[in-house]
Structure formats: C-alpha cells, structure tokens
Amino acid sequence: QKEVEQNSGPLSVPEGAIASLNCTYSDRVSQSFFWYRQYSGKSPELIMSIYSNGDKEDGRFTAQLNKASQYVSLLIRDSQPSDSATYLCAVTVLNRDDKIIFGKGTRLHILP
C-alpha cells in the first residue's frame, strides 16, 4: 500500500464553490500533516499544517484531520481561478528523521 494516496484528478470546480481535496495515509504513527500548493513550473508552497484531530481554518482554507480513519482533507471555500494548481498532501512519520512523504498530488481546476 502506498504511503500517501491522493486522487490525481483533475478535479474541476466552478468558481465560487467549495473544492474538497482528500488524502489517505498508511502509517498509523504519522504525526504531522501538510498541504502544499504547486503551480505549474513552480516549487511547492506550504498552505496548511495540521497536527491534531479536527479542523484548522486559515482564511479560505480548512484542513481536516481524522487520525482514526487515517484521512486528511483540504477544503477551499469561494474557489478562485488562481486556486487552480496541483495540491500535494504530505505526512511526516515518527522516527523517520523528519522526512516528509509526499502524495502524487491532485490537480485542481477552477472553472471561471
């Protein structure tokens, strides 16, 4: 089983709607969870980090973590065309020397 799994997409969402991006991970001792945004030809940019079960909100972004289900998601409210990018889910694991394991990413396309 892959360590971090994401639907590759593309996920198409109308402008102004909520975009929901999902990620599952295989290692139960995972401790830290991150969402990065990567525009085409650019490097990944950290959007959110989450460490505890529940929701964490930052502006239009909400990260949701459910460790029992090994599931982390990112919601983008009031989606804008500028949100069109690839979103990478990343997980660190205890005793892995701070290494981050990345998913393959979900391509999000916001339809004007």
Partner 1 sequence: SAVISQKPSRDICQRGTSLTIQCQVDSQVTMMFWYRQQPGQSLTLIATANQGSEATYESGFVIDKFPISRPNLTFSTLTVSNMSPEDSSIYLCSVEQGVSTDTQYFGPGTRLTVL
Q: Widest CA span of the chain, in angstroms?
A: 44
- Is 11 a binding residue for partner 1 by CB under 8 A? The answer is no
- Is 58 a binding residue for partner 1 by CB under 8 A? The answer is no
At residue 25, the 3 state secondary structure works out as: strand
Q: Are 7 and 51 in contact (CB under 8 A)?
A: no
CA 93/CA 32 separation, integer angstroms: 7
Identity of the residue, 82 or 98, whose beta carbon is nearer to partner 1 in the bound complex: 98
Residue from 63, 88, 108, 110 binding partner 1 (CB under 8 A): 88
C-beta of 44: minimal distance to partner 1 in Å? 5
C-beta of 85: minimal distance to partner 1 in Å? 14
